């Protein structure tokens, strides 16, 4: 029997990327990668949907592409909360067994003060859906000249977390600065509902992950690999290089996050 | 499949003149390196890393102080650390004296600061001297530099290749294909330039990057390296190990190419 290193990879996508060719970003390949790296399952988004005006067609494609691999790949459709009928996306996500929905406020030009974000938080929480945010897809230094979208801000995360006491938010691709700015701007209760992957958090010799494990705590982190954009080995390597002097570190499983989100659904 | 040895030809350390937690930082690099299997860190210290003069425009005094601190580390860690001599080409005579002084202290390569565009003639006497001594030149590269970035006069592969073409007897390490900018741009520029060796370091871990470089420049010119983030270095090492390349190619990338371009007897490998 395989012992999983992590139960869930919450930060995976399939599909093409508008700014460069990705090697075979297909569901079947992702399944092989998960097996090779001993990761139990992945929550998978549609990568191109982050740039689509209407994510509905891309979500339909996502459900179809993942269906043959339903035992290990769980859909995480994209919702655009300023688009007519957006709550239908949430209802379908529930029907399809999705653990989460993804929203890309920066790509959509949704500011942190927009009322659509609290509305999304309340609607997702009522349905037991986790909300997933992505700070960036590529390093600022390498982006295509037309990719002028700035990184996600702490204000966006805060407004979602604070909007509803039931909502769970996972943020992918944050660095130490954004994690600390956000975490320490939330109450302890709010902090407990906000989770981060460490795909963009550095290990030695700066030891940012070790610092964060000691300060904000390992329970705030959940595994995210950033496939197919980045090597899934990166966050695995960073985790493996945590100081052996640290007590056994257990990050939070995505399964626990979704169970917490579901516990409020009546 | 793992490489027989592992050499990091692009490493850095700190000292009391650059950051207060330098001892913790240096110990973290060495400890993590041991866990990863790094036998040698070939490293430089860039002056005061911006504390007293800019990292890439370090004053002559800071260049000397940083180099001295680097040599102290190699003296303390002779089994696992080798030194570059760091030079600022805006001070040509000083740079040449630093190379002379560095060789006397055991330096094995030249870290040419991004203080002047790579194709600037000011760099010529420095890289010629490095070539004469059989020392490779490591140069900070911004992959596809489309504008000037603050606090450095960075170059891209096109500019470095102009310098390399003028000095075919000198080997150049093109720094960090994962370190910023567009790595895909560099590939086509250096494909047919035999004295330019790209290193894999940098925080970038894009899928497809390693495969593209292997397909283009081949295993005999690619150097595994980590630079400032050992975690992404380990990730790229593990990615290379699962690509399915021949053992000889993996060994070339991880240590044998370094052995070829650094002076003889730089590394003691069994």
Q: What is the C-alpha R_g of chain B?
A: 17
Is residue B1 included in any domain, yes or no?
no
Whole domain around residue B56: which residue ranges? Answer: 7-261
Mean pLDDT within B2-26: 98
Residue B265 to residues A5, B38, B70, B108, B134: CA-CA distances in angstroms? 41, 17, 20, 10, 12
Give the model's pLDDT for residue A174.
98
Q: Average pLDDT over chain B, rounded to whole?
A: 97
User: Is A229 within 8 Å of B234 when comparing Cβ atoms?
Assistant: no
CATH number at residue B116: 3.20.20.140
The alpha-carbon gap from A218 to the nearest alpha carbon of chain B, in Å, equals: 18
pLDDT along chain A (266 residues), means of 10: 88 97 97 97 98 97 98 98 97 98 98 98 98 96 93 98 98 98 98 98 97 97 98 97 84 95 89
With contact defined as beta carbons under 8 Å apart, do A69 and A62 qualify?
no
pTM: 0.97
Instruction: Provide, as residue numbers in chain A, all residues whose Cβ is less than 8 Å from the Cβ of B25.
Output: 205-206
The alpha-carbon gap from A88 to the nearest alpha carbon of chain B, in Å, equals: 34
Give the model's pLDDT for residue B1.
86
Is residue B270 included in any domain, yes or no?
no
Is residue B236 included in any domain, yes or no?
yes
ipTM of the complex: 0.96
Give the model's pLDDT for residue A107.
97
Order of strands across the sheet with B172-174?
A: B7-12, B40-44, B81-87, B109-112, B137-139, B172-174, B196-198
Instruction: Provide, as residue numbers in chain A, all residues whose Cβ is less than 8 Å from the Cβ of B28.
Output: 204-207
Per-residue pLDDT tens over the stretch B239-267: 999 999 999 999 999 999 999 999 999 99
User: Is A203 within 8 Å of B231 when comparing Cβ atoms?
Assistant: yes
Give the model's pLDDT for residue A1.
55
Nearest to B207 among A202, A205, A229 (CB): A229
* CATH for the A6-262 domain, from 3.10.20.30, 1.10.3720.10, 3.40.190.10, 3.20.20.140: 3.20.20.140
Residue of B37, B205, B212, B239 to mutate when probing chain A, most A C-beta within 10 A: B205
Nearest to A233 among B36, B208, B235 (CB): B235
Helix (H) or strand (E) holding B33: helix B22-36
Mean pLDDT within B207-220: 97
Among A178, A168, A188, A200, CA closest to A264: A168
**Count of residues making up chain A:** 266
Maximum pairwise Cα distance, chain A: 53
User: Is B238 within 8 Å of A236 when comparing Cβ atoms?
Assistant: yes
Per-residue pLDDT tens over the stretch B71-115: 999 999 999 999 999 999 999 999 999 999 999 999 999 999 999
Nearest to B180 among A139, A231, A236 (CB): A139
Residues 164-193 (B) with a CB less than 8 A from some CB of A: 180-184
Give the model's pLDDT for residue B41.
98
* β-bridge partners, A20: A17
Per-residue pLDDT tens over the stretch A218-256: 999 999 999 999 999 999 999 999 988 777 889 999 999
As for how many domains chain B has, the answer is: 1
Interface of chain A against chain B, CB under 8 Å?
A: 20-23, 36, 138-139, 141-142, 145, 202-207, 209, 227-231, 233-234, 236-238, 240-241
Instruction: Provide, as residue numbers in chain B, all residues whose Cβ is less than 8 Å from the Cβ of A22.
Output: 207-208
Is residue B2 included in any domain, yes or no?
no
């Amino acid at each position: 029997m395989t012992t999983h290193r992590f139960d869930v990879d919450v930060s995976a996508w399939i599909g093409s990327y508008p700014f460069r060719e990705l090697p075979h970003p297909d569901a079947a390949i992702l399944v092989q990668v998960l097996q090779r790296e001993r990761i139990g399952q992945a929550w998978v988004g549609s990568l191109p949907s982050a740039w689509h005006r209407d994510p509905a067609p891309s979500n339909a494609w996502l459900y179809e592409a993942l269906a043959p691999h339903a035992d290990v790949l769980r859909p995480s459709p994209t919702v655009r909360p300023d688009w007519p009928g957006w709550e239908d996306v949430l209802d379908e996500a529930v029907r399809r067994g999705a653990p989460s929905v993804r929203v890309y406020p920066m790509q959509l030009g949704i500011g942190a003060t927009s009322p659509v974000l609290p509305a999304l938080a309340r609607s997702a929480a009522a349905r037991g859906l986790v909300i997933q945010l992505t700070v960036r897809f590529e390093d600022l230094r390498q982006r295509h000249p037309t990719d002028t979208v700035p990184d996600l801000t702490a204000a966006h995360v805060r407004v979602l977390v604070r909007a509803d006491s039931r909502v769970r938010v996972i943020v992918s691709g944050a660095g130490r600065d954004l994690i600390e700015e956000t975490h320490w701007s939330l109450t302890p209760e709010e902090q407990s509902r906000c989770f981060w992957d460490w795909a963009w958090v550095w290990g030695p010799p700066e030891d940012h992950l070790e610092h964060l494990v000691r300060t904000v705590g390992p329970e705030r982190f959940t595994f995210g690999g950033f496939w197919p954009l980045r090597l899934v080995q990166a966050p695995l390597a960073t985790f493996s290089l945590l100081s052996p002097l640290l007590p056994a570190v257990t990050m939070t499983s995505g399964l626990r996050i979704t169970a917490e989100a579901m516990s409020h659904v009546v | 499949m793992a490489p027989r040895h592992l050499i990091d030809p692009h490493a850095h350390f700190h000292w009391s003149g650059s950051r207060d937690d330098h001892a913790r930082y240096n110990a973290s690099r060495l400890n993590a390196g041991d866990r990863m299997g790094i036998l040698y860190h070939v490293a430089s210290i860039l002056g005061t890393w911006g504390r007293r003069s800019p990292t890439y425009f370090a004053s002559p005094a800071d260049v000397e102080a940083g180099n001295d601190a680097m040599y102290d580390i190699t003296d303390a860690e002779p089994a696992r650390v080798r030194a570059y001599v760091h030079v600022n080409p805006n001070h040509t005579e000083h740079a040449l004296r630093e190379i002379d002084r560095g060789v006397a202290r055991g330096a094995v390569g030249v870290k040419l600061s991004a203080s002047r565009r790579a194709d600037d003639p000011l760099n010529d006497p420095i890289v010629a001297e490095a070539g004469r001594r059989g020392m490779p030149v490591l140069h900070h590269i911004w992959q596809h530099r489309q504008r000037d970035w603050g606090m450095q006069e960075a170059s891209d592969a096109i500019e470095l290749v102009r310098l390399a073409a003028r000095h075919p007897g000198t080997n150049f390490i093109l720094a960090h294909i994962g370190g910023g900018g567009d790595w895909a741009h560099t590939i086509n520029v250096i494909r047919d330039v035999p004295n330019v060796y790209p290193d894999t370091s940098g925080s970038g871990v894009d899928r497809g990057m390693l495969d593209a470089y292997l397909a283009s420049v081949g295993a005999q010119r690619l150097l595994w390296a980590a630079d400032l983030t050992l975690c992404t270095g380990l990730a790229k090492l593990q990615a290379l190990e699962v690509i399915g390349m021949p053992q000889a190619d993996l060994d070339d990338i991880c240590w044998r190419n370094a052995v070829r371009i650094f002076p003889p007897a730089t590394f003691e490998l069994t």
